[in-house]
């Protein structure tokens, strides 16, 4: 079997037509969904980029691999082996496929950008798109496509390969999008939320890329960052719908640009006569907030805006009976690798956390998972539990973020560092129901405690939670300095309350309220 796995950084599913979006951002991806199966509640087990792709490459959650963030001790993969021998029950996922006869290839600069050499260790071939691939803004989608099509021109007609192609362009700052902006604008209205009422309610919160005083301290005067923003300049703050729509337009146009690259990949398969014999998969490493929890154009919080990802699978001969359908079952993104194994007669290693959803691809009842626990490790440290219509969020460290009503509430456990949202009634998570739904909160709190204890007890290294360790060691401050943020607020007329929140971030220990 042949597999083309398209991995698009920062791609929200609800900005695709196949997931119900009003704009024509991704006609190619939508066409793939019409031929295959769309998973509506797929989440990454860990977010954002490095934890997510590590989970995909290992089929194990970050609390077990040690990779829960982008830096410090939380970025290093804990190889579950000895000396030169990996644990046969916990092999790297793509390497496991390779060892069972599937040639695995990746086109990406990701491993260099995040120093994630365990990721490329699973591939028989690792192709850097350009000599500078992996450096911010150096990995253009056209270069990625060119490298991928060169490989396909030489190998497409061979049997049994998996080509992973990683696009970064949907990630801010939205480069090369000018030719696509008018097309997406003309195709339909932008996302209707956040509306002006939501934007007004977000004024006064603290944190980078929030509605009030949006720029990132340390990057505000950085000439390199400023140069990247010249094509699609970010506003100084999100004060109204015009500001929010500007960001949405840039993001949507970036999706349309990458969709054109995907079309080129499919045309190459067609040219070699293997398109109808190739399984096409489209997914992403995380989403992007556009107002959820007060955050804009960033992946900074353990919630569905960041952790829910698209998963579209068109598998000739397997998805035929279910073509064009959606699956509402909960699944982890790394369940995809167990499914590829299951449908390819490759044994699923006992030490993986991944479970196959092969039945769902055939249009048969599958049931999915009863619940998911998903960790997050940049800007904030925390975990979310997804069950039924609920998401329960526990922050181990809130970073510099404060949205009205979220923190410093003595009526809430741990000073307000728990959140509960009903995603059916409140999909944008504007109301915290921790006190209004005490029974649901207690159930999901217990579920997270049980999950954490079970996962950590299965780890050889003394059962230490790497996310909690990072909260104590350094806090989630790789991309923001609280001192600089405090100075920035003081220089721009922020209130004492906002500066106090920043001061709290500097000294905040995990699990403690004010």
Question: To which H or E segment does residue 267 belong?
Answer: helix 241-271
Predicted TM-score (pTM) of the model is: 0.95
Residue 503 CA to residue 501 CA, distance in Å, equals 5
Domain boundaries, given as residue ranges, for the chain: 2-177+252-364, 373-507
pLDDT band for position 508 (50/70/90)? low
- pLDDT above 70 (res 415): no
Residue 139 pLDDT level (bands cut at 50, 70, 90): confident
What DSSP state is assigned to residue 3? E
Q: Which helix (H) or strand (E) holds 484?
A: helix 482-491
In the predicted model, what is the mean pLDDT of residues 414-432? 89
Residue 223's pLDDT is what? 45
End-to-end CA distance of the chain: 56
Sign of the C-alpha dihedral computed for residues 367, 387, 326 and 92 taken in this order: negative
Q: pLDDT band at residue 54, thresholds of 50, 70 and 90?
A: very high
Closest among 376, 191, 183, 155 to 290, alpha carbons compared: 191
Using only C-alpha atoms, the chain has a radius of gyration, in whole angstroms, of 22
Helix H or strand E encompassing 117? helix 117-120
More confident residue, 372 or 133: 372
- pLDDT > 50? residue 40: yes
Cα gap 11→44, rounded to integer Å: 12
Residue 331, pLDDT score:
98
Q: What is the bridge-based pairing of β-strands 2-8 and 278-283?
A: parallel
Query: How far is residue 13's CA from residue 2's CA, in Å, rounded to a whole number?
Result: 25
Q: Is the pLDDT of residue 151 over 90?
A: yes
Highest mean pLDDT among 72-81, 338-347, 391-400, 493-502: 338-347
Confidence of residue 514 (pLDDT cuts 50, 70, 90): very low
The conformation of residue 320, written as its DSSP 8-state character, comes to: G
Mean pLDDT of 313-327: 97
Q: By three-state DSSP, how is residue 330 classified?
A: strand
CB 144 within 8 A of CB 176: no
CA gap 362, 318 in Å, rounded: 6
The length of the chain, given as a count of residues? 514
Query: What is the separation of C-alpha 438 from the centre of its chain, rounded to a whole number of angstroms?
Result: 29
Quote the pLDDT of residue 87.
Answer: 92
Distance of alpha carbon 290 from alpha carbon 368, whole angstroms: 28
pLDDT at 219: 44
Compute the distance between CA of residue 495 and CA of residue 472 in angstroms, rounded to an integer: 28
Q: Which residue has the higher pLDDT, 398 or 310?
A: 310
Distance CA 75, CA 92 (A): 17
User: Given a cut of 60, is residue 342 above it in pLDDT?
Assistant: yes
Nearest to 258 by CA among 332, 153, 341, 148: 148
Residues 6 or more apart whose CB falls under 8 angstroms from that of 217 comprise 208, 480, 481, 484, 485, 487, 488
Does the pLDDT of residue 55 top 80, yes or no? yes
238-288: per-residue pLDDT in tens?
999 999 999 999 999 999 999 999 999 999 999 999 999 999 999 999 999
Which of 98-102, 331-335, 412-416, 455-459 bottoms out in mean pLDDT, i.e. has the lowest?
412-416
- CA angle 486/379/216 to nearest 5° reads 50
Residue 180 has pLDDT above 50, yes or no: yes
CATH number of 373-507: 3.30.1120.10
Helix (H) or strand (E) holding 448: helix 438-457
Instruction: Give residue 226's pLDDT.
Output: 52
Residue 82 has pLDDT above 80, yes or no: yes
Burial of 277-301, coded b for 16+ CB within 10 Å and e otherwise, reads ebbbbbbbbbbbbbbbbbbbbbbbb
The per-residue pLDDT for 296 is 94
pLDDT at 512: 44
351-392 residue pLDDT tens: 999 999 999 999 998 889 999 999 999 999 999 999 999 999
User: What gap in Å lies between CA 458 and CA 447, rounded to an integer?
Assistant: 17
What is the topology classification, in CATH, of domain 2-177+252-364? Alkaline Phosphatase, subunit A (3.40.720)
**167 beta partners:** 8
- Return the pLDDT at 96: 98
Task: Identify the weakest region by mean pLDDT among 36-40, 332-336, 388-392, 468-472.
Answer: 468-472
Report the pLDDT value the prediction gives residue 352, as an integer from 0 to 100.
Answer: 98
Contact 357, 458 (CB under 8 A): no
Determine which of 91-100, 116-125, 147-156, 458-467 has the lowest per-residue pLDDT on average. Answer: 458-467
For 218-231, the pLDDT digits (tens) are 444 444 445 445 78
């Amino acid at each position: 079997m042949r597999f083309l796995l398209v991995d698009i950084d920062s791609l929200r599913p609800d900005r695709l037509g196949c997931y119900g979006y009003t704009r024509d951002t991704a006609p190619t991806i939508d066409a793939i969904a019409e031929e295959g199966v769309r998973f509506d509640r797929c989440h990454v087990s860990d977010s954002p980029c490095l934890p997510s792709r590590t989970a995909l490459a290992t089929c194990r959650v970050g609390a077990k691999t040690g990779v829960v963030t982008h830096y410090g001790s939380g970025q290093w993969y804990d190889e579950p082996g000895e000396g030169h021998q990996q644990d046969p029950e916990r092999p790297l996922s793509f390497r496991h496929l390779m060892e069972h006869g599937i040639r695995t290839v990746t086109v990406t600069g990701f491993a260099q950008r995040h120093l994630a050499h365990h990721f490329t260790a699973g591939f028989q071939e690792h192709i850097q798109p350009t000599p500078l691939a992996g450096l911010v803004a150096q990995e253009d989608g056209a270069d990625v496509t060119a490298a991928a099509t060169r490989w396909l021109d030489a190998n497409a007609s061979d049997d049994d390969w998996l080509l992973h192609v990683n696009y970064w362009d949907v990630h801010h700052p939205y480069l090369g999008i000018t030719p696509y902006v008018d097309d997406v604008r003309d195709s339909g209205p932008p996302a209707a939320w956040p509306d002006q009422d939501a934007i007004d309610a977000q004024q006064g919160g603290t944190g980078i890329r929030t509605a009030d005083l949006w720029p990132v301290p340390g990057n505000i005067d950085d000439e390199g960052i400023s140069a990247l923003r010249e094509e699609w300049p970010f506003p100084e703050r999100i004060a109204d719908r015009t500001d929010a729509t500007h960001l949405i337009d840039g993001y949507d146009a970036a999706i349309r640009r990458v969709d054109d690259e995907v079309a080129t990949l499919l045309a190459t398969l067609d040219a070699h006569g293997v398109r109808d014999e190739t399984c096409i998969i489209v997914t992403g490493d995380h989403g992007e907030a556009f107002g959820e929890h007060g955050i804009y154009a960033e992946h900074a919080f353990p919630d569905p805006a960041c952790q829910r990802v698209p998963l579209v699978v068109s598998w000739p001969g397997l998805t035929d009976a279910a073509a064009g359908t959606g699956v509402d079952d909960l699944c982890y993104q790394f369940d995809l690798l167990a499914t590829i194994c299951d449908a390819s007669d490759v044994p699923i290693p006992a030490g993986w956390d991944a479970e196959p959803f092969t039945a769902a691809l055939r249009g048969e009842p599958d049931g999915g998972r009863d619940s998911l626990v998903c960790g997050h490790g940049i800007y904030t440290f925390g975990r979310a539990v997804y069950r039924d219509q609920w998401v329960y969020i526990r922050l181990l460290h809130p970073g510099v973020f404060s949205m009205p009503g979220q923190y410093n509430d003595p009526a809430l456990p741990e000073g307000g560092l728990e959140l509960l949202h009903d995603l059916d009634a409140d999909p944008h998570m504007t109301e915290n129901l921790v006190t209004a739904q005490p029974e649901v909160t207690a159930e999901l709190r217990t579920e997270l405690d049980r999950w954490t204890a079970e996962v950590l007890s299965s780890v050889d290294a003394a059962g230490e939670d790497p996310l909690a360790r990072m909260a104590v060691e350094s806090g989630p401050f790789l991309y923001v300095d609280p001192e600089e943020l405090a100075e920035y607020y003081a220089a721009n007329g922020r209130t004492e309350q906002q500066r106090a929140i920043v001061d709290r971030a500097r000294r905040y220990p995990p699990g403690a309220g004010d």
